[in-house]
A and B are shown apart, each in its own frame.
Chain A
Amino acid sequence: MLKQLSVFLENRSGQLVQITEILTKSSVNIRAINIAETNDYGVLRLVVDDNEKALSVLKDEGFIVKTANIVAAAVPDSVGGLNKLLLSISKHDIDIDYMYSIFGKSDGLAYMIFKVKNPDQLINVLQEDGYNIAGPDALGIN
């Protein structure tokens, strides 16, 4: 199963660059990034090439980090591509907590990352509808 890291951040200048500095020093490559924010704080979600390393260096620096399972599905690069994908999900009454995008490492495809309550169910549903579900290799994750 693909994993993402989420990090608690305060909504103030200098918070993000602290994270990217730490990851750079540890030679961790960020593959996808997403931020959800309020006026006071935010949650940074990261897909990186080395989860374990990123998790340990960020924790060492005092950040609160959590790991969660995610699902990445290839989105056809044409009008209605995302719409069709979302229709597949909604017809099974699956609630999407949030989503963001990532590029395949070498296949040139665009993928949508989904956070849902039951990722196994989502994978089955999408595979039945013929979608290409990315494994770590396709996304450049070790």
Chain B
Amino acid sequence: MNNYDIDHIPREELKKLQSERLAAQVKRSYERVECFRNRMDEIGLKPDDIKGVEDLSKLPFSYKSDLRDYYPFGLFAEPMENVVRTHASSGTTGKRIVVGYTKRDLDMWAECIARMLKEIGVGKGDIAQISFGYGLFTGGFGAHAGAEMVGATVVPMSSGNTKLQIQTMIDFGVTLLFCTPSYALYLAEEAEKMGVKDKLKLKYGIFGAEPWTEKMRKDIEKELSIKAYDIYGLSEVLGPGVACECKEQAGMHIREDNFIAEIIDPDTGEVLPEGSTGELVFTSLTKEAFPVIRYRTRDICSLIYEPCKCGCTHIRMNKPTGRSDDMLIIRGVNVFPSQIEEVLLTNGYKANYQIIVDRVGNTDDFEVRVEMNSDNFSDSLGEISRMEKELVSSLKSMLGIQARVRLVTPKSIVRSEGKAVRVIDKRKL
């Protein structure tokens, strides 16, 4: 399957295609997804009222909390026998959120990435090392399938074990690297330390899953002698690949044949004029197992409507500059303060804590400060350290990443106007 031309489709035709697909997607979701049907009925909207993209703003929003409320499969629009894959992502509390894919959904995902790879020149003869995690998180899977689709040789490395990562890149002659941008810089640093940086054959890197800057891009490109591209996505909508950069490195093209993007005011829900900065909202047009209608990503960014020099007619998005909720992205993993609160309460601590995130070198430093209380205090240091370790491991199993716990004296966590400051993010991005 080669959908390469879809990237150059004239805007008018694209709009027509989107309109047809939107009407069909709305009708299908209304018939199959109870949550969506209820929301439509509440505002007296019928699927027939949605004739094209100009009707999009009439539709109700959907939210991350819907995935929790309908956990695990309540929002699926296909019977389970047609769902060939599930992935999970962090919810705002202990419960993970689950998404599903049909065979066609997985093909579409792979194709979204394959289109990017073709455009930047990756194909047969290239060796792609996927250093995003492989597991419940969507991480490496889309990149894996996309690279295979263009005929590259895939090395499914997953994350961790940096020395082995570097050795493999050298031994296999890896030309394309997928990972988080901070890990790319870390790999460069370690390769330098091992004295093998000049043996790397990397040509391109595709980086995402966490915020990064143009300065970081320049550093990565210089340190690894590659071209570094940005990729965007979220599990609820698809996974990494919803939007991808082209050779121009001037914003990520949204795969508009599969997704419609809107920018809204996160407070009022109003659609903002072209070029405004606001919350990014996605509607899927072709997804079968887990369609989303006006899904609130909580990412703050702006869209670029001017034609791109690369010739692709699909609009571009700028890097998200922040969030409209309190989610943090630490080492590429989504972390909600409410998850930490839940762990503390289950472990017998009061929900009096502070999260301090910093970037030390190229890795995120993640500290959770917890106020000691008399129930958990013991005169034995061994006992305190045992409880501390227990807390660290509970946090790890909730969040998927390691946090450093720091026990502090009561009332030492700064409160401003009676409200504690829960998150201190010192990373300058």
In the assembled complex, the Cα of A41 lies from the Cα of B410 at a distance in Å of: 13
Q: Is the CB of A64 within 8 A of B406?
A: no
Contact yes or no, B379 A68, CB < 8 A? yes
B379 with A9: CB separation less than 8 A: no
Question: Apart from A6-B378, A41-B372, A62-B410, what 17 extra A-B contacts exist at CB < 8 Å?
Answer: A8-B377, A8-B407, A10-B412, A36-B381, A41-B406, A41-B408, A43-B380, A62-B409, A63-B409, A64-B372, A64-B374, A64-B410, A66-B374, A66-B378, A66-B379, A98-B380, A115-B379
User: CA A38 – CA B380 in complex, angstroms?
Assistant: 12
Contacts of B374 in A (CB 8 A): 64-66
Give B385's nearest chain A residue, CB to CB: A38
Give Cα A10 to B407, complex, Å: 8
Report B-chain residues with C-beta under 8 Å of the C-beta of A36. 381
A1-22 interface bits toward B, Cβ cutoff 8 Å, 1 = contact, 0 = none: 0001010111000010000000
Q: What are 8 of the A-B contact pairs (CB < 8 Å)?
A: A6-B378, A41-B372, A41-B406, A41-B407, A43-B380, A62-B410, A66-B379, A115-B379
CB-based contact A6/B379 at 8 Å: yes
Distance between Cα atoms of A8 and B406 in the complex (Å)? 13
Tell me, yes or no, whether B373 is within 8 Å of chain A by CB. Answer: yes
CB distance from B350 to the nearest CB of A (A): 12
Query: Known contacts being A62-B411, A64-B372, is A40 close to B379, with CB within 8 Å?
Result: no
Q: How far is the CA of A32 from the CA of B329 in the complex (A)?
A: 48
Residue of A nearest to B373 (CB): A64
Bound CA–CA A40/B379 (angstroms): 16
Q: Does B384 contact A (CB under 8 A)?
A: yes
Flag if B380 contacts A41 (CB, 8 Å).
no
How far apart are the CA atoms of A8 and B373 in the complex, in Å?
A: 9
Contact status of A43 and B381, CB under 8 A, knowing A8-B372, A64-B374, A66-B374: yes
Q: Are B372 and A97 in contact (CB under 8 A)?
A: no
Closest chain B residue, CB of each to CB of A6: B379
Q: Mark B403-420, 1 if CB is under 8 A from A, else 0.
A: 000111111100000000
Q: Which residues in B have their C-beta under 8 angstroms from that of A98? A: 380
Residues of A within 8 Å of B406, CB to CB, are 40-41
Q: How far is the CA of A94 from the CA of B374 in the complex (A)?
A: 27
Q: A residues within 8 A CB of B408? A: 10, 41
User: What are the residues of chain A within 8 A of B411 when measuring CB–CB?
Assistant: 62
Contacts of A66 in B (CB 8 A): 374, 377-379
Contact of A45 among B372, B377, B379 (CB under 8 A): B379
Instruction: Classify chain B: how many residues form its interface, as a range.
Output: 10 to 19
Chain A interface residues (CB < 8 Å from chain B): 4, 6, 8-10, 15, 36-38, 40-43, 45, 62-66, 68, 97-98, 115
Chain B residues with CB below 8 A from A64, complex form = 372-374, 377, 409-410
B409 contacts which chain A residues (CB < 8 A)? 8-10, 15, 62-64
Residues in B whose Cβ lies below 8 Å from that of A41: 372, 384, 406-408
Determine the distance from Cα of A38 to Cα of B373 in the docked complex, in whole angstroms. Answer: 18
Residue of A with least CB distance to B412: A10
Indicate whether A38 sits within 8 Å of B372 (C-beta atoms), given known contacts A62-B410, A64-B410.
no
A residues within 8 A CB of B385? 38
Docked pose: A42 CA to B409 CA in angstroms: 10
Chain B positions within 8 Å of A68 at CB level: 379
**Chain B residues with CB below 8 A from A45, complex form:** 379
Contact partners of B377 in chain A: CB under 8 A? 6, 8, 64, 66
Of residues 179 to 218 in B, which have CB atoms within 8 Å of A's CB atoms?
Answer: none
Chain A's nearest CB lies how many Å from the CB of B191?
31
> In the complex the two chains form, what is the Cα distance from A101 to B378 in whole Å?
20
Q: Which residue of A lies closest to B411 (CB)?
A: A62
Q: Which residue of B lies closest to A44 (CB)?
A: B379
Cα distance, A64 to B409, chains bound together (Å): 8
Closest Cβ–Cβ distance, residue B402 to chain A (whole Å):
16
Query: Closest residue of chain B to A59, judged by CB?
Result: B374
Chain B residues closer than 8 Å to A65, beta-carbon distance:
374
Instruction: Tell me, rounded to whole Å, the shortest Cβ–Cβ distance linking A29 to chain B.
Output: 21
Alpha-carbon gap, A36 to B372, bound state (A): 16
Q: Which of B366-380 contact A (CB under 8 A)?
A: 372-374, 377-380
Query: Chain A residues with Cβ under 8 A from B372's Cβ?
Result: 8, 41, 64
